[in-house]
Copies of this chain bind each other. A is one copy, B any other.
Amino acid sequence: MQLNRLVEFHKTMGDPTRLRILSLLSNGPLHGQAIAGKLGLTAPTITHHLKKLRDINVVFERRDKNTIYFNLNHLVVKQHSEALKQLMEGKEISMVDQSDEKQKIIANFFTKDGKLKTIPAQRKKKLMVFEHLIKGIEKGKKYEEKEINEYILQFHDDYATIRREFIINHYMYRENGIYELNPVEMWAKIEG
């Protein structure tokens, strides 16, 4: 987890209007005007806040005709909450003041706001990146394919490819459309 991302996350959550928007979305998708109405604010204000919420990937949108429905992405919230708790337990902020070789390689493939620039071509590096991505997935929890897609989307548009790679390299397994994290021993080995 990068310090920057964590700061942006909390800065975004530190506003009553945005928390209320998320609270509304927790009951299901809504379109902009509905949100504006329920909160007694104007449409531009809602657009403003939704942009910030999108920036940290905690909401995403689906279009239907002229109307855009905004959806909540629970996973991203959980991931950041976890990161903060770990920071409090003395865990290092990686890829910022970390000089470790492996961390440096990984950092090269991400933008400063945490997006994956490209999927590495080299197998070894690719696996390092996947191991990093998988960190937000909880052990022992069952995920719908849709949830996995939304989770990956915060890092990269091509969620289908990456989701497939998670399976191929045994980071996760799938059963009847339900995904779950594999134990570490099963993951593809990074040689060298």
A: residues with CB less than 8 A from B are 3-4, 6-16, 19-20, 22-23, 26-27, 72, 74, 77-78, 81-82, 84-85, 87-90, 93
Contacts and interface: CB of A to CB of B under 8 A. Distances in A.
A76 to B, nearest CB: 10
Given A9-B14, A26-B88, 9 more contacts: A3-B20, A6-B19, A7-B16, A10-B11, A10-B14, A11-B15, A14-B14, A74-B89, A81-B84
A23 B78 contact: no
Contact of A11 (B14, B81, B93): B14
Contacts of A82: 81
Number of copies: 2
A189 to B, nearest CB: 32
A15 B7 contact: yes
A13 B19 CA distance: 15
A89 B89 CA distance: 25
B16 A90 contact: no
16 contacts: A7-B14, A9-B14, A10-B11, A10-B14, A11-B11, A11-B14, A19-B87, A22-B88, A23-B90, A26-B87, A26-B90, A27-B90, A74-B89, A77-B85, A78-B85, A78-B88
